[in-house]
């Protein structure tokens, strides 16, 4: 740059500073600014140095090296005092603007004396008064000083004076002011008022470089304290996405870590810490470092409280850290730093705030976020069992109580009955028991062991026989047989169940055993026969199906109508109904299966055993969905969740929520569907199925959020799902759809380069599919994103690829739109006339393709659609021709371009008129565009005629017809222009 003289060199410097401003925040950008200042000093142009110093100030302010701001500002101020005429209007304004940065910057550095800050505040007030600025910015700065040192009375006075003073060009932007005002209300415990003040920022009415980033972060704790957990979750997902790439936002980043610690999302909090290792040690902005260290302490002490103190965690570089070690380190660092601020301020306010923040208790036990994050593993906790009251009597005295409770739970089929029997077994160690008690303990121990319980069931059978209960002995042997069937020993199980079955029927006929014991044996046999059905090859032998059906009906015949208040017998009848339902489903009678599953579920609920109904409600939901009865599917799933209550295990709960989400989503109820998909992702993570079921739930959740236009939340969730989604587990369709949705979100968020990348990745997978429509659509969308990102050459290649695919698919609309898009790209190219010529050729090709397809339209509907496409193409051709006329072209050239454009617009009007009322809006739009061209060509009479034609087209149009009113307003404007001209 030093080799270029004068204006050219200054222009090059300005371009370099503009480019550097677009680089990511951080030391690299700062170093570049320092280099550019050195280059500016070589030019011998005072304004160049002033602008380079201003640029340096800006990048320092938006970085972790805020402490470097003071030197360039002091130099700028000295230059202003010595030669103010060297500053242009913009730089003079900027100099006064950054006075505010200096005040807050000094406040954030504990080594700067409070007296110096107060003196600087006075200097700011004096200079603003001289320059004719309002007191508003000064009082805002004074408020910041008072609030920081804990002088509430002065802060309230300054706050009131700040709001009372006039807004002028020195006032912070609306977004920043509202954030500061809301922050104070939150600090004073007025959370609702804070949220009211932040609302215009959070809703997007006001924004700036760091808003709504900080308002979203600041709102998290107040929302949690007010119980608005859904909003808090949304603000975390939206806000963290904004904060993540900005190095200067350590304080807001800390708010998100705090949110994780207060909502049971400790694992996500650790992920956030791991993303920013430099935040532990960056010393350029001590106040945000203090904020960060306090929430690190909060999170680490929370982990220690959960029994995870020895867990390895991310921390300052140079060594490995456990949660307990980092908690102690961060607390000591935070308190030392807070002490330095307090020593400077002469108060204890900063330390008090730090201690209070570190001592917070969780505000929500567990708030699912929908993003991928494994829950920290807590040390195993024993399942609660009835405690034996401490008393002087020996343990044997407690056994009757424990036995009675265990029998009550097992007789009524209550959850945790097995655990209650385990408590009996522990209490009975070393105690002489009668044989019946030992039989029941052994029996339930076998149930607890599952597949390993065969031998204990056989031992229980021996003990029941010894106790004089042959029916229960046979039931225990049947349970052993069923366990054999479950472990794949089916033939052995069938043999083992035969004798108990024959014997129990004989005993029952002789009144030598009861109905309950007989039903238990018959049900055990039915279960074994059902296992044979499930293990049979397809199609299942009718004889096998028949035997299972007969066994289930035999159970029903035995107990139906005879259950009385006996819960066990009622459950046998309900289970037999469920078996018949399953057999009906296997036989292809879906309607009968649905009816029988509904009957089984109702029977379990009627018996007071709703948790047993869950499986059958879920099966019913699947069948109802198959039959197209979405209302019944929804009802059954809701019932399953309700009936399962606290007894549902995490995998089942995840499945039910996910099924319900899909049913609701299919009805267009995306908001409630998102709630259930969120629950599904949470419970899948709890079940250790995050990479499988959890990834699918996140995929669905992202789609439901996208439907609601919640782009940032959807993007965060979809990005979280992608690492776990695989073609092998979830299907390549799910991977493509997730990339597709993510591309849509990123496009809406203005992240066009990233959107293009996602769409191209999806297109590459879809390229290998037999049906190529998705491939073509994704290529087209990727081209749009590339064009919006300014990557015109890449966009043209992508549109060309899409156009080739549309042609192969016979999709003329896609082909024409790709040609039109390429025409506009060519017009934007930097090769002048050649680009304009190429643009015209491409648009002409689009017209030819569309016209040729219209000539061969197969039916009226296709004809109408192609007519609309052709009219729109003529309209775009006219727009393109008008814009191709450069301001520095010869008058004749401009005239010719406008004439050509008008001819195309006129053609568009003619084509669209053929559509009648359905094409009215498109036709009048083209008519108005032609009218403006007539005006530009100096033909006011013709322009007015077109305007009147549009007004006539909408004569009598309803007020609520927005498009009609817009067209009328534009036509009136065109008439006014022609009359004035």
Q: What is the mean pLDDT of residues 605-612?
A: 92
Owner of token pair 């270029």: 4
* Residue 321: strand pairing partners: 313
Let me know how long the chain is.
Answer: 981
Q: What is the mean pLDDT of residues 126-149?
A: 95
Instruction: Give 818-822's long-range contacts (Cβ < 8 A, gap of 24+).
Output: 818/780, 818/783, 819/843, 819/845, 819/846, 819/849, 820/846, 820/873, 820/876, 821/783, 821/784, 821/787, 821/795, 822/796
Both tokens of 354, joined, read: 């730090």
Q: Does residue 83 have a pLDDT over 80? A: yes
Cα torsion 234, 238, 243, 244: sign: positive
First vs last C-alpha separation in the chain: 50
Q: What is the pLDDT of residues 24-51, one digit of tens each?
A: 888 899 999 999 999 999 998 999 999 9
pLDDT band (50, 70, 90) for residue 393 = very low
pLDDT band (50, 70, 90) for residue 851 = very high
Both tokens of 230, joined, read: 């859904």
pLDDT band (50, 70, 90) for residue 981 = low
Which pLDDT does position 831 carry in this prediction?
Answer: 60
Q: Does residue 373 have a pLDDT over 80? A: no
Please state, for a pLDDT cut of 70, what percent of the chain lies above it: 96
pLDDT band (50, 70, 90) for residue 5 = low
Owner of token pair 């929370």: 302
Q: What is the mean pLDDT of residues 191-210?
A: 95
State the Cα–Cα distance between residues 400 and 391, nearest whole angstrom.
15
- Pairing assessment for the beta strands 321-322 and 312-313 based on DSSP bridges: antiparallel
Which pLDDT does position 957 carry in this prediction?
Answer: 83
Q: What is the mean pLDDT of residues 195-202?
A: 97
State the Cα–Cα distance between residues 15 and 51, nearest whole angstrom.
12
Q: What is the mean pLDDT of residues 144-154?
A: 96
Phi, psi at 322, each rounded to 5°: -100, 165
CA nearest neighbour of 70 among 39, 101, 37: 101
Helix (H) / strand (E) containing 321: strand 321-322
CA nearest neighbour of 521 among 462, 584, 477, 460: 477
Q: What is the pLDDT of residues 701-751, one digit of tens each?
A: 999 999 999 999 999 999 999 999 999 999 999 999 999 999 999 999 999
State the Cα–Cα distance between residues 275 and 271, nearest whole angstrom.
6
Which pLDDT does position 833 carry in this prediction?
Answer: 59
What's 42's DSSP letter? T
Which pLDDT does position 16 carry in this prediction?
Answer: 93
The C-alpha angle 227, 233, 235, rounded to 5 degrees, equals: 105
- For the chain, the average pLDDT equals 92
Which pLDDT does position 612 carry in this prediction?
Answer: 93
pLDDT band (50, 70, 90) for residue 832 = low
Q: What is the pLDDT of residues 316-340, one digit of tens each?
A: 999 999 999 999 999 999 999 999 9
Q: What is the mean pLDDT of residues 551-565?
A: 91
Asked if omega into 539 is within 30° of 0 (cis), the reply is: yes
State the Cα–Cα distance between residues 946 and 150, nearest whole angstrom.
69
Task: Give Cα 175 to chain centroid, integer Å.
Answer: 25
Which pLDDT does position 378 carry in this prediction?
Answer: 43
Q: Does residue 377 have a pLDDT over 60? A: no
Q: Determine the 3-state secondary structure of 467 from DSSP.
A: coil
CA nearest neighbour of 761 among 309, 513, 770, 746: 746
Q: Does residue 374 have a pLDDT over 80? A: no
CA nearest neighbour of 494 among 441, 462, 533: 533
Cα torsion 288, 292, 293, 297: sign: positive
Instruction: Give 347-355's long-range contacts (Cβ < 8 A, gap of 24+).
Output: 347/149, 347/150, 347/151, 348/150, 349/148, 349/149, 349/150, 350/148, 350/150, 350/290, 352/150, 354/290, 354/294
Q: What is the pLDDT of residues 451-508, one digit of tens each?
A: 889 999 999 999 999 999 999 999 999 999 999 999 999 999 999 999 999 999 999 9
Q: Does residue 911 have a pLDDT over 60? A: yes
State the Cα–Cα distance between residues 77 and 58, nearest whole angstrom.
15
Q: What is the mean pLDDT of residues 154-159?
A: 97
Both tokens of 740, joined, read: 């597709």
The C-alpha angle 393, 399, 402, rounded to 5 degrees, equals: 120
């Amino acid at each position: 740059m030093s080799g270029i003289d004068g204006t050219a060199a200054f222009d090059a410097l300005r371009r370099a500073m503009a480019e550097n401003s677009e680089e990511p925040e951080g030391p690299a950008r700062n170093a570049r600014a320092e280099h550019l200042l050195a280059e500016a000093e070589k030019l011998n142009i005072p304004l160049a140095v002033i602008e380079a110093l201003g640029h340096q100030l800006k990048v320092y302010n938006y970085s972790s090296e805020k402490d470097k701001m003071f030197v360039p500002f002091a130099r700028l101020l000295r230059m202003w005092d010595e030669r103010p005429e060297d500053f242009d209007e913009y730089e003079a304004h900027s100099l006064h603007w950054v006075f505010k940065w200096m005040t807050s910057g000094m406040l954030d550095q504990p080594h700067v004396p409070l007296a110096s800050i107060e003196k600087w505040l006075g200097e700011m007030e004096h200079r603003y008064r001289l320059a004719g600025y309002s007191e508003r910015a000064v009082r805002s700065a004074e408020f910041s000083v008072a609030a920081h040192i804990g002088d509430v009375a002065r802060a309230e006075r300054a706050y009131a004076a700040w709001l009372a003073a006039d807004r002028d060009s020195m006032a912070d932007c609306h977004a920043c002011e509202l954030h500061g005002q809301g922050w104070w209300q939150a600090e004073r415990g007025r959370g609702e008022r804070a949220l009211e003040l932040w609302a215009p920022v959070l809703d997007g009415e006001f924004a700036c470089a760091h808003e709504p980033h900080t308002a979203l972060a600041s709102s998290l704790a107040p929302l949690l304290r007010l119980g608005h957990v859904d909003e808090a979750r949304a603000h975390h997902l939206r806000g963290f996405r904004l904060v993540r790439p900005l190095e200067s936002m350590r304080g807001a980043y800390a708010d998100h870590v705090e949110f994780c610690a207060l909502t049971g999302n400790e694992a996500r909090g650790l992920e956030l810490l791991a993303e920013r290792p430099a935040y532990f040690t960056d010393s350029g902005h001590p106040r945000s470092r203090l904020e960060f260290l306090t929430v690190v302490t909060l999170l680490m002490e929370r982990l220690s409280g959960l029994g995870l103190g020895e867990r390895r965690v991310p921390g300052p570089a140079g060594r490995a850290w456990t949660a307990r070690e980092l908690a102690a380190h961060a607390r000591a660092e935070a308190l030392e730093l807070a002490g330095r601020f307090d020593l400077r301020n002469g108060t204890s306010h900063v330390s008090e705030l730090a201690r209070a923040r570190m001592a917070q208790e969780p505000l929500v036990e567990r708030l699912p976020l929908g993003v991928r994050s494994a829950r920290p593993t807590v040390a195993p906790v024993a399942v609660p069992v009835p405690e034996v009251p401490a008393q002087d009597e020996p343990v044997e005295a407690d056994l009757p109580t424990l036995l009675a409770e265990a029998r009550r739970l097992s007789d009524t089929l209550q959850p945790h009955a097995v655990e209650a029997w385990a408590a009996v077994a522990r209490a009975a160690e070393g105690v002489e028991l009668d044989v019946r008690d030992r039989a029941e303990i052994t029996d339930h121990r076998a149930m607890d062991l599952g597949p390993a319980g065969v031998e204990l069931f056989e031992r229980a059978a021996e003990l029941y026989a010894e106790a004089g209960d042959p029916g229960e002995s046979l039931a225990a042997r049947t349970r052993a047989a069923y366990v054999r069937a479950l472990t794949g020993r089916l033939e052995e199980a069938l043999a083992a169940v035969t004798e108990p079955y024959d014997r129990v029927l004989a005993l029952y006929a002789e009144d030598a055993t009861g109905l309950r014991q007989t039903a238990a044996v018959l049900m055990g046999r039915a279960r074994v026969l059902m296992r044979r059905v499930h293990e049979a090859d397809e199609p299942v032998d009718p004889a096998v199906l028949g035997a299972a059906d007969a066994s289930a009906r035999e159970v029903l015949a035995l107990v139906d109508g005879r259950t009385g208040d006996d819960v066990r017998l009622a459950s046998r009848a309900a289970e037999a109904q469920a078996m018949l339902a399953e057999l009906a489903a296997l036989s292809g009678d879906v309607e009968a299966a649905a009816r029988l599953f509904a009957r089984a579920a109702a029977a379990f609920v009627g018996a007071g055993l709703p948790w047993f109904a869950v499986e059958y409600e879920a099966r019913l939901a699947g069948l109802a969905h198959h039959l197209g009865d979405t209302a019944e599917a929804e009802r059954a799933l809701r019932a399953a969740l309700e009936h399962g209550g606290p007894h549902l295990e995490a995998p089942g709960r995840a499945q039910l929520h996910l099924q319900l989400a899909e049913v609701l989503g299919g009805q267009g109820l995306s908001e409630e569907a998102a709630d259930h998909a969120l629950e599904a992702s949470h419970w899948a993570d709890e079940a250790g199925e995050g990479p499988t079921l959890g990834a699918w739930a996140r995929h669905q959740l992202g789609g439901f959020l996208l439907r609601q236009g919640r782009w940032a939340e959807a993007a965060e969730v979809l990005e979280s799902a992608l690492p776990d989604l695989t073609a092998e587990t979830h299907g390549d369709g799910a991977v493509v759809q997730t990339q597709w949705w993510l591309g849509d979100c990123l496009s809406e968020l203005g992240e066009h380069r990233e959107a293009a990348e996602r769409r191209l990745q999806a297109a590459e997978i879809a390229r290998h599919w037999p049906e190529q429509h998705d491939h073509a659509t994704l290529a087209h969308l990727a081209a749009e994103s590339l064009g919006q990102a300014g990557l015109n050459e890449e966009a043209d290649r992508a549109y060309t690829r899409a156009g080739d695919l549309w042609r192969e698919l016979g999709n003329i609309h896609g082909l024409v739109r790709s040609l039109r898009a390429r025409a506009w790209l060519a017009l934007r190219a930097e090769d002048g006339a050649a680009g304009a010529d190429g643009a015209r050729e491409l648009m002409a090709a689009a017209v030819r393709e569309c016209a040729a397809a219209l000539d061969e339209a197969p039916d009226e509907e296709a004809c109408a659609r192609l007519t609309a496409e052709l009219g729109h193409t003529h309209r775009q051709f006219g727009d393109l021709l008008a814009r191709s006329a450069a301001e520095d072209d010869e008058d004749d050239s401009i005239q010719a371009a406008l004439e050509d454009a008008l001819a195309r617009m006129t053609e568009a009007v003619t084509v669209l008129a053929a559509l009648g009322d359905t094409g009215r809006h498109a036709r009048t739009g083209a008519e108005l565009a032609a009218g403006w061209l007539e005006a530009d060509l100096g033909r006011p009479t013709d322009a007015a005629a077109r305007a009147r034609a549009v007004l006539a087209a909408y004569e009598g149009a309803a007020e609520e017809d927005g498009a009609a009113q817009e067209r009328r307003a534009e036509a009136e404007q065109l008439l006014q222009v022609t009359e004035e001209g």
